[in-house]
Structure 1
Amino acid sequence: MNTSFNFLEKSLELYRYPKRITHPSWQAWDAADELLLDHIQQSQENIKQTRIVILNDDFGALSCWLNEAKVHHVSDSLVSQLACKQNIELNNLDKARITYIDSLAPIPQAPDWVVIKIPKTLALLEHQLIQLQTVVSQNTKIVAGAKAKMIQKSTLALFEKYLGKTYTSLAKKKARLIFCEPDLAIQQKPSPYPSVWKMQQEPFTISNHANVFARQQIDIGARLLIDNLPDCTAKTVVDLGCGNGVLGLCILKRYADAQVIFMDESYMAVASAKLNVQNNLPKEMHRALFIVSNCMEELENNPQVDKVICNPPFHQLNTITDHIANQMFEDARSALKKGGELRIIGNRHLEYPQKLKRLFGGYNVISSDKKFSILSSLK
């Protein structure tokens, strides 16, 4: 794995988070980062006096390289924040020159630059452009970057709709830049987020912030798991990777004495879960806890949990990977009491059975169909 980022006379050591997770093909930066930094270097003379808002800096490459400026790192991902903090420290950079902001918090007014890594979720980009409407000035320079294949007509249309005239660079190393000129005469438009849909299995109305998985409808894996939830009577349950919280919400409704901890590394996911408990089961808020966490790091080495339910992701940003599921299973085993249960759902082609057998010594198939299996392991 290449960890040495040598670019434009600067050299940094950059890792994804956590640093112990490695893969030969993984880097903590990409060609879009390089294009963005090259453009800023050519366009900005005195970087030290510059206020820069950076959105969706995956692992901190942009924030570390631009550390001489006053940087605001805006992200919906706790893992991205932790990666940036890790890399700031590894390179002995000035921690005081960077401020971390989650995706639902206000963005600072009138930045000199807004630098955007185009996110995988177009809805998140739309949310961020709506936020920027109210903070950019006529003098704010706006530049975005991504793999060329991610920049579609719909992407450019969002910039035009909310911010102003937009055009692109030529592609280089399969990446491309977007330039946008702020037009303060554009009428500010209300946000369509959080979006709302109704569940069929339970009488819930589900609210979803822009970056939440299954934002428009319940995903089929969660639907199957809801029909096969464990007995949670008088149990402490973690809804791990909770998304909008539908699994934990069902447990709160069905088991009047269960305690549910909603955990996700996405700020928008945890906020959505909290909103859904408040809106659908307001009298049960005292039985719910909401934690933004990388897997179960916030409960590390504290075996107080009876059940962990999980619909694991198999990607990080744009990378297909099983390391997140691996960490979820390992963290669950650490947090569970003796005799506690991890219950998961996953695509049948994934190697979850082997992982559970290695960690827990065995597993049971609770249910399955042509695509998914629900697996249970006891500590």
Structure 2
Amino acid sequence: MKTFSTSRGDFGLTRFPEDSRDQLRAWDASDEYLLRHLEDREPSGTLVLLGDRWGALATALAAHRPVQISDSYLAQSATRANLARNRTAAEAAGVALLTTQDAPPDRIDVLLVRIPKSLALLEDQLQRLAPGLHADTLVVGTGMVTEIHTSTLKLFERIVGPTRTSLAVKKARLIFCTPDPARTGAPVTEPWPRTYTLPTGIGAMSGRPVVNHAGIFCAERLDIGTRFFLQHLPRPRGRARVVDLGCGNGVVGTAVAVAHPQAEVVFTDESFQAVASAEATFRANVGRDVEAAFLAGDALSGVERESADLVLNNPPFHTHRALTDRTAWRMFTGARAALRPGGELWVVGNRHLGYHVRLRRLFGTCETVASNPKFVVLRAVKPA
């Protein structure tokens, strides 16, 4: 745990899940810059925090009873833990935690935006929040210099109103935006979710629609790793319980449901946008009469121990801009716990990541099902 020192107090903050070996902080210079700016203008009224990554802003500003809006289950979990660690029970209870799929407040007096990695997600959320803004709403964005581009500023300008930026401090920058009632009061045109048709030659999902909410990885096209995975999926038997782990838009789990209607499919991801996309993709291809589970969570935290027959996984090798294999390792260990004896974990990944070494250490065995110059599909079986 590291200490976040501000004019509002010192706060012990961690990311989630907490890991004593993790040297990454739960805040950065852009959070510090924003809080210093607010020292001269104390927030009042309904305060909304968009994209607060690990709850640093919500914890520091808890006395103002903010509404945090996040796409990340991990960020929300970190926020709860950091509030419980640093604030009284009443202050912690006063912070409302919403997902990017929830309806935002009708009126917003202060909007603080931690610029997300995805420009599409920023556009989607500004469109959803704009009707709640008024001429006197204080709108301030914050991010590292590398995260704020001309396209970012144009987005604020188009959806909210006149926009300018601050000088850079410790490689962080602020965005100041003045709401224009002519823009924020206009009817909301939400370009998301979007649907595209999958290519042929990829198995059960060939030529079928896939639905994507804003911020989803490869929302405009099928990524080449998933394409390769779809061509080599296993064939579950009978009413096997199949988990699409890190489901994204749900195309892998939906492929299983289309090809094997008797299978029980569980979709899980830490992104609320991803889970919503997976459900929309599933319903577009399978219908509403077929049951499936859609869970937001940390890896397989929402799946019962030894309840799955098959886990399918295309693990990310980064989390919130940090390159790391910890997410993949957590997914692999979670899969082992969730699988029944004899159950199988199938993984697709870049060849150079060496997942076979980790899987062999964890399961005792790992075989290569398919490979090409860039990707491998691996199969690990839980010992009986």
TM superposition score category, shorter chain reference: over 0.9
The question of whether the paired residues in 1 share the 8 Å contact of 2:368 and 2:377 is answered with yes
Shift of 1:110: 2.1
1:126 aligns with 2:115: no
What is the CA–CA distance in structure 1 between the aligned matches of 2:360 and 2:113, rounded to whole Å? 42
Paired position in structure 1 for 2:63:
68
Out of 283, 299, 313, the position equivalent to 1:278 is: 283
C-alpha distance 239-41 of structure 1, shift in aligned 2 (>3 A): same
Paired position in structure 2 for 1:102:
99
Letter in 2 for 1:366: V
Shift of 1:189: 4.5
Backbone CA RMSD of aligned residues: 1.3
What is the CA–CA distance in structure 2 between the aligned matches of 1:126 and 1:58, rounded to whole Å? 17
The question of whether the paired residues in 2 share the 8 Å contact of 1:71 and 1:99 is answered with yes
The question of whether the paired residues in 2 share the 8 Å contact of 1:50 and 1:70 is answered with no
Summarize the alignment of residues 352-363 of structure 1 with structure 2, pairs less than 5 Å apart.
352-363=355-366
The question of whether the paired residues in 2 share the 8 Å contact of 1:21 and 1:323 is answered with no
Shift of 1:85: 0.3
Paired position in structure 1 for 2:48:
53
Summarize the alignment of residues 203-222 of structure 1 with structure 2, pairs less than 5 Å apart.
203-222=207-226
Compute the TM-score of the two structures, normalised by the length of structure 2.
Answer: 0.94
C-alpha distance 131-68 of structure 1, shift in aligned 2 (>3 A): same
C-alpha distance 210-336 of structure 1, shift in aligned 2 (>3 A): same
Summarize the alignment of residues 121-160 of structure 1 with structure 2, pairs less than 5 Å apart.
121-160=118-157
Summarize the alignment of residues 329-344 of structure 1 with structure 2, pairs less than 5 Å apart.
329-344=332-347
Shift of 1:317: 1.1
Shift of 1:348: 1.0
The question of whether the paired residues in 1 share the 8 Å contact of 2:258 and 2:285 is answered with no
Q: More deviation in 90-99 or 61-70? A: 90-99
The question of whether the paired residues in 1 share the 8 Å contact of 2:59 and 2:87 is answered with no
Q: More deviation in 223-232 or 90-99? A: 90-99
Shift of 1:357: 1.2
SS at match of 1:250: helix
Paired position in structure 1 for 2:37:
39
Paired position in structure 2 for 1:79:
74
Could you list the per-position Cα deviations for residues 204-225 of structure 1 after superposition, in whole angstroms to 9, with x for gaps in the alignment?
1111000211101111111011
What is the CA–CA distance in structure 1 between the aligned matches of 2:157 and 2:40, rounded to whole Å? 25
Letter in 2 for 1:39: H
Summarize the alignment of residues 195-234 of structure 1 with structure 2, pairs less than 5 Å apart.
195-200=194-199, 201=202, 202-234=206-238
What is the CA–CA distance in structure 1 between the aligned matches of 2:232 and 2:198, rounded to whole Å? 16
Structure 1 runs (4+) greater than 4 angstroms displaced: none
Out of 25, 28, 32, the position equivalent to 2:26 is: 28
1:295 aligns with 2:299: yes
What is the CA–CA distance in structure 1 between the aligned matches of 2:171 and 2:214, rounded to whole Å? 27
Shift of 1:267: 0.8
Could you list the per-position Cα deviations for residues 68-116 of structure 1 after superposition, in whole angstroms to 9, with x for gaps in the alignment?
1011010011110000001111113422210010101111122221000
Paired position in structure 1 for 2:316:
313
SS at match of 2:328: helix
What is the CA–CA distance in structure 2 between the aligned matches of 1:293 and 1:178, rounded to whole Å? 32
SS at match of 2:63: coil
What is the CA–CA distance in structure 1 between the aligned matches of 2:149 and 2:349, rounded to whole Å? 31
Shift of 1:50: 3.8
Compute the TM-score of the two structures, normalised by the length of structure 1.
Answer: 0.95
Q: Percent identity?
A: 38
The question of whether the paired residues in 1 share the 8 Å contact of 2:193 and 2:212 is answered with yes
Query: Where does structure 1 lack aligned partners over 5 or more consecutive residues?
Result: none
What is the CA–CA distance in structure 2 between the aligned matches of 1:304 and 1:43, rounded to whole Å? 53
Could you list the per-position Cα deviations for residues 203-251 of structure 1 after superposition, in whole angstroms to 9, with x for gaps in the alignment?
3111100021110111111101111111112211000000000001110
Summarize the alignment of residues 232-271 of structure 1 with structure 2, pairs less than 5 Å apart.
232-234=236-238, 235-271=240-276
Shift of 1:9: 5.4
Letter in 2 for 1:367: A
C-alpha distance 134-283 of structure 1, shift in aligned 2 (>3 A): closer
Paired position in structure 1 for 2:17:
18
Out of 140, 145, 168, the position equivalent to 2:165 is: 168
Q: How many residues are paired up? A: 372
